[in-house]
Amino acid sequence: MEFSLSVVKIVCLLLAGFTLVPRYSCASDCGNIPNISYPFCLQNDLEYCGDSQFQLFCEKNQTTIELLSKKYFVESIIYDDYSIRIVDPGIFGDNCSYIPHYFSTNSLWGYTPFYLNSFISVVFLNCSVLVNNSLYKATASCRNTSNKDASYSYVLLGSLSVGDLHKGCYVADDTYIDFTGDYESQNLSYSTIRGLLEDGITLNWSPEASRSSCSLPFHSSHCFRNLLSAIARGYFLLGRTILGVLCFSAFLIYKLRSRHLAMDHKIEEFLSEYKNHMPKRYSYWELFRMTNRFKEKLGQGGFGSVYKGKLPNDTPVAVKMLGKCKGNGQDFVNEVATIGRIHHMHVVQLTGFCAEGSKRALIYEFMPNGSLDKFLSSQIGDNDRLSWKKLHEIALGIARGIEYLHRGCSMKILHFDIKPHNILLDENLVPKVSDFGLAKFYPIEESIVSLTAVRGTIGYIAPELFYRRVGNISYKSDVYSYGMLLMEMAGRRKNILDQHANSSSQIYFPSWIYDQLTLGDLGLGEDVAEDEKDTFKRLVIVALWCIQMKPVDRPSMSRVVEMLEGSAEHLEMPRKPFLASPDRWGHVDDQASELGALNSFEQPSSESILSPR
C-alpha cells in the first residue's frame, strides 16, 4: 500500500513538472524558410522537436522534404493554414524543356501526412498524329520526346476522360497544379501552365498533427505521454511474444502458407515499384461497404466472383474478387499493371484495386449489358438478337481496342485470351476488352515473344501456342483469337453453328463457311437486305484471314480495322483454313490434327482455361 502511494506521488510530481515548465524552443531556419516549428523539424534537430513524418532537410541553404521516396523543394510553410507549398526539382532549368521529375496520382498522397486540397490535373500526352483540338496544348517548342513513334507532344488540363483521348495518342505522364478558377474559359497557354508548375502545389496537413501533447523532453521521448505509450507498446510486444511461444504449434501451419506469403510479398513489391502509375487502392473494409456486404452478385467464373458496387460518389462499379491465385499472383499483378495505365474507349477502365493479405480485388467501371457471349447464346430470343449493323460496330470496336493494346501504349500488350466472355458491353453496347489476367508485356520493337506455358481458352488459342513449327508466338496470336471470335459472331447471328453442328459431330465451321462463300451461297435467306449480306460476308472474310494457320499470313490489327471499315467486294478471299484442308498444305502430323479437334466449335467451353486464372 505504501509502495503504491509512493508511485502515485512520483507520477503526480512528473505530470505537474511537465505542465509548469515552459516549452522548450526548437525553432530552426534554413534558406527562405524561417522559424521551422512543430510538427516540422530539420534532420539534425532533437527528436522531440517535431514529428518524424514532417522531417525537413537543409541542403545548400535550400529546404527540402522527402515524400514518397522523392525530394521536393519547400517554398513556404503557413502554420495558420496548415499548408506547405512544394515544387518538383525537375521544373527548374535553363529552358522550358525541363519537365517534372515525379508524377503521381492524388490517391498516393494518402500514404503521407498531407493531402491535396485545390488542384487541377496536368496530363502529358505523346501523339503520332497532329491533333487539332483546343483542349490539347502543344509543347513541341518546349518538350522533346525520345519515343520515335510520338511526333507530337501535348498537355491537357483536367481529368482525362475516354472521349478526350485522341486516336494515336497515349498518356506519358501526369501531375498537378494549384488552380481555383475556370481553366476551360481562360484557355491557358502552355507557357502559363509552365509558370503554374514552377509555382508548385500546396499540401495541407491535419491540425491534430500540430498539437504537441507536452512541453519538455524526457530522455529519448519528447514528452511523458510518449513514454507511457512506449511502455504500453513494450507490454504489447511482450504479450505478443508470449502468445507466440504458447502457439508454437501454429508455426507449422504458417510454414505451409509460405508460398502465399511469398506471393503477397511479390505483389507488394510490384505495387510499390509502380505505385505512381497505379489506380486508387482500397481496403477490404471499404470493399465490404462499397458492395453492401457483397449483396448483389453479377457473375461467377474460374477467377472468382464479380459483385456490383457503388463508389462514395454513387458511381456504379463492378468488384472482381479474385479467388485462389496461382503463379505468384501473376494474374492479379498483370491486370492491375495493364488496365491501370490504359485509357481507351474500347478497353475497360480500372478504377481501383485491393491487395490486403489474401484478399485481392479489382474494381472497374460497371458494364450494364454484361459480356458479349450473352448476346451470342443460342438461347437468346429474336427481339434481343443483335442486328448486323450493331454486330459490325461491336467487331470494329473490339478490333480498335486490341490494336491499341498492340501499338498505342509505351509497351506492347498481348492479351492472349480474346473471347466473347472477355468482351464487355456498356449501356450503348459499346464493346470494351477486359480480363488481362493472362496478358504479357513486351517492348514495341520486339516482334517475337517467349512463353513457358500455353495460355488462353480452348477454341480461341492460336496454333503456334500448341505447335511451335507453325511459327513464332507474337501479337498475331491475338489476331487468331479475334478471328475465331468474329467467326462465332457471324455464325451465331443466324444460328448457323447450331444448324450444322447437328448434321456432323466433326463439323469445322470455318471450313464449311469457306466452301459456302466460294459457291456464292451465304445461307442467309432472301429476306436479308444487301447491306446485311455485305456485313456478314465482310465479317467472315476478315475472320478467315485472321485464322490462317501461319502467323505470317494473318493481318495486323491495324489492317483488320481497315478491312472492316471497307466493303466486302474489295476484300480478297484468303486460302482455305489449314486445319480443314490437309491435302492443300501437305503433310499434317498428329499434333496438328489434334489442334484441329481443339479448335472445333463443337468442343469449346468459355470457362476452360489452360493457364492459371
Set 174, 264, 331, 417: catalytic member:
417
A 10 A CB-CB count for 451 gives 15
C-alpha cell at position 465: 501456342
Stated as kind and residue range, the H or E segment containing 602 is none
Q: Are 175 and 88 in contact (CB under 8 A)?
A: yes
To the question of whether residue 320 is assigned a binding role by annotation, the answer is: yes
Q: Which residues pair with 309 in a beta bridge?
A: 317
Catalytic site residue 417?
Answer: yes
User: What is the CB neighbour count within 10 angstroms for residue 390?
Assistant: 13
Cα separation, 420 vs 374, in Å, equals 8
Peptide bond into 39 cis (omega under 30): yes
**DSSP 8-state assignment for residue 316:** E
Per the CB < 8 A criterion, the answer to whether 152 and 139 are in contact is no
List CB contacts of 386: < 8 A, sequence separation 6 or more. 375, 394, 429, 493
With a CB cutoff of 8 Å and minimum separation 6, the contacts of 170 are 125, 126, 127, 150, 343, 408, 409, 410
Amino acid identity at 236: F
Q: Rounded to whole angstroms, how far apart are CA atoms 581 and 574?
A: 13
CA distance 49 to 41: 6
Do residues 138 and 190 make contact, with C-beta atoms less than 8 angstroms apart? yes
CB 366 within 8 A of CB 308: yes
Q: Report the alpha-carbon distance of residue 343 to residue 277 in Å, rounded.
A: 12
The two beta strands, 55-59 and 137-138, are: unpaired
H/E/C letters for each residue in 389-402?
A: HHHHHHHHHHHHHH
Instruction: Extract the annotated binding site for ATP.
Output: 320
Active site residues: 417
Binding residues: 320
